[in-house]
Structure 1
């Protein structure tokens, strides 16, 4: 079962959650912080476990990959709080320490 959530952070900014459950257990997740640029939503930060390890991927404002770091799994609500609090400087922060 796939569960999708979207939370408006500010005008032109959203946090998005994709969680895939198998037998009622979370198997894969993707949490993303996206900004609207023109008519396209660009991902700035993406937390996921798709390669078998919890990590965060950071992109620039144009959607170009910058770096990837290990990041302990958090609930989507925690990600929304992190993004809401630090959204102005989030790309420059060391997210692995939060």
Structure 2
């Protein structure tokens, strides 16, 4: 069985919590009649941490770290794209070693 990339695992957890907490905070602020734009800015800023871990995971896998890092900086959709591309590469590499 292949080793899991720790940076990719951390990025996945951060991305999950980023999206879930962003949605919850948007609903809570909406219930109080407050604007949700500060939450979007916060999610985008928190996404920079996730992008850093995706950059490190791409580098560890021998992929273009700059490409995956730049795509991830564009927000959660870019990070989701990068995460699933890197995760699928790790899964296929693990299947080849069985």
TM-score by length of structure 1 reads 0.29
TM-score by length of structure 2 reads 0.29
Q: Flag the structure with higher helix content.
A: 2
